[in-house]
Structure 1
Amino acid sequence: MSDAYVLVLYYSRHGATRTMARHIARGVEESGMRALLRTVPPISTVCEATASAVPDEGAPYCTEQELADCAGLALGSPTRFGNMAAPLKYFIDSTSSLWLSGALIDKPACVFSSSASMHGGQESTLLSMMLPLLHHGCVIAGLPYSEAGLNATQSGGTPYGATHLAGSDGKRDVDSVELALCTAQGRRLGSLANTLRNS
């Protein structure tokens, strides 16, 4: 493995998106690239609220430099009314300096999400997450139908990116097909990152 890495950046409220991120990272590592798992702090409408420097659990918080230096990016969020969660959008909205410098141009990127219901806005969330990546000049990588799980899934999984159906109580575990699609997405992203980096 080289020093180059794929950044798997996510926000997770109840743990499902974090589980997906870990399996995407596993796929990245299977491709021969290093995976760097990072999250973003929650945000608050109370101006005095501050997040601790280190999260209580899960991955460390992402820095702008870690985003700038990645060879590829996987971006994950739970679905919030058909859009990415506010903490992740807040972080992405703060990356104007990377847009100005072109730091992410030609880097492959993919997206993944989790929602409470089958039609809870998974695909619109994935599409909304692609928009800032396109503005940054990223090369969007979806999930091709050569992945058998896309035709077999009874829950999450789209050609736009891996998804998970958490259930109305948010407690449904990520199933084996959803996990396999996450791993496949990570493997594809890692392979693309390696190819583009060496071209």
Structure 2
Amino acid sequence: MSSSPYILILFYSRHGSIAEMAKHIARGVNKVTGIEAKIRQVPDVSSTAEATSPALPDEGAPYCTLDELSECTGLALGSPSYFGSMAAPLKHFIDQTSTLWMTGQLIDKPACGFTSASTMHGGQEQCLHSMMTPLIHHGMVWLGLPYKNKELISTTSGGTPYGASHLASSTQENNLTTEEKALCEAQGERIAKMAVKLNS
């Protein structure tokens, strides 16, 4: 077991928006005493054949291990919305967690999700639901974003009560709005506070 509790911020990011959101969620986590943020990503998957990724990615956060997932105190899961669902690389990683499910490693740990899409109705909320489903099967406690976060009411970009989101005007757009940054940080702070309470 890891010596210090941490929120695992685990994501797949194709164009950079999700990686940027992960940084702001980590800032929210790090506002809370007694817990830290650990940012990890998942490798791409091949659509044609078995492909081997290097042990370390060319850039960004290290790849996540199953041990890092099992030892986390809470989990923030991030993915772009592809047709209203999480990206295949993240789903592929989650599909390998049956040993954690059989041993109950994630039961009663808090979890949340964050996503990005290039259109207003690009399936952000449905994508968050697709990430929620396997984590509920793991026995995790899903945390959304309550409306005490006033940015949920004022935003004309991303933000949902199911989890933080980003509206990218194009696939190369990863500049978060002020509201989106605030909601990411609020989500990170909320899951960290809940993890400390549940872990005490």
Q: Taking structure 1 as the reference length, what is the TM-score of the superposition?
A: 0.96
Cα shift readout 1:119-172 (whole Å, capped 9, x = no counterpart): 000000001110000000000010000001000100100000000001134425
In structure 1, the partner of 2:51 is: 49
- 2:146 corresponds to which residue? 144
**Tell me, what secondary structure is at the counterpart of 1:111?**
strand
CA contact (8 A) 2:20 2:174 kept: no
In the TM superposition, residue 173 of structure 1 has moved relative to its aligned partner by 1.3
Secondary structure, aligned partner of 1:59: coil
Distance in 1 of aligned mates of 2:51 and 2:199: 40
The Cα shift of 1:110 comes to 0.3
Matches within 5 A, 1:7-156: 7-32=8-33, 33-156=35-158
Q: Find the residue that maps to 1:83 and give its secondary structure.
A: coil
| 3-state secondary structure, aligned to 1:125 | helix
Taking a change above 3 Å as real, the CA distance of residues 187 and 43 of structure 1, as seen in their structure-2 partners, is: same
Distance change >3 Å, CA 48–CA 100, structure 1 → 2 = closer
Distance 1:113 1:4, change over 3 A: same
Give the structure 2 partner of residue 191 of structure 1: 193
> Which segment is superposed worse, 132-141 or 169-178?
169-178
Q: Structure 1 pair 57/172, CA: closer, same or farther in 2 (3 Å)?
A: closer
Contact 1:108/1:192, CA 8 A, preserved across alignment:
yes
Q: Which residues of structure 1 form unaligned runs of 5+?
A: none
**Aligned position for 1:173:** 175
One-letter code of the match for 1:19?
Answer: E
**Helix, strand or coil at the partner of 1:130:** helix
1:182 Cα deviation from its structure 2 partner:
0.1
SS at match of 1:74: strand
Distance in 1 (alpha carbons) for counterparts of 2:23 and 2:108: 24
SS of the equivalent of 2:10 reads strand
Distance in 2, matches of 1:12 and 1:172, equals: 11
Q: Deviations over 1:90-121 (max 9, x none)?
A: 00011000000000000000000000100000
Which moves more between the two structures, 47-56 or 66-75? 47-56
Distance, in Å, in 2 between the alignment partners of 1:169 and 1:65 is 32
Aligned Cα root-mean-square deviation (Å): 1.0
Number of residue pairs the alignment of both structures matches: 197
- Whether the 8 Å contact between 1:116 and 1:170 is mirrored in structure 2 is no
Q: C-alpha separation between the residues in 2 aligned to 1:170 and 1:134?
A: 32
Cα displacement string for residues 15-71 of structure 1 (whole angstroms, at most 9, x for unaligned residues):
000000111011011112210000000000232532111011110000000000000
8 Å CA contact retained: 1:42, 1:87 = yes
